[in-house]
Amino acid sequence: MSIQTDEFEPARRVVSAAPASPNEEAIERALRPKGMAEYVGQAKAREQLEIFIGAAKMRGEAMDHVLLFGPPGLGKTTLSHIIANELGVNLRQTSGPVLEKPKDLAAILTNLER
């Protein structure tokens, strides 16, 4: 018995990266925690970040650099938004694959608002 691949239809994707509806992104944003008080999990990381954020506020200066890394879905974006909200600053977001050359990052950094 032999099975030919042309006998089967391609499977439909159950999960898609594209938003299912125009409101999906807004709903997702509304569900994410806005501040450290709402952030659940990673107690050690949270404690350290609260110290860093508090120190930056007391000094009236920018917080030292923070690098969040790891696979998708761990909350890096959510945490970066929380840090920005806690400090009352804007957030400029990008991802590694978008940055092909050093000048790509230089362009982003040059156009930041103070």
> Considering only 2-6, 56-60, 69-73, 87-91, which range has the smallest mean pLDDT?
2-6
The third-level CATH classification (topology) of the domain covering 25-110 is Rossmann fold (3.40.50)
- Tell me how far the alpha carbon of residue 58 is from its chain's centroid: 26
Residue 36: its pLDDT value, please? Answer: 94
What are the sequence ranges of the domains in the chain?
25-110
For residue range 28-52, what is the model confidence (pLDDT) as tens digits? Answer: 888 899 999 999 988 998 999 999 9
By the 8 A CB rule, do 68 and 96 touch?
no
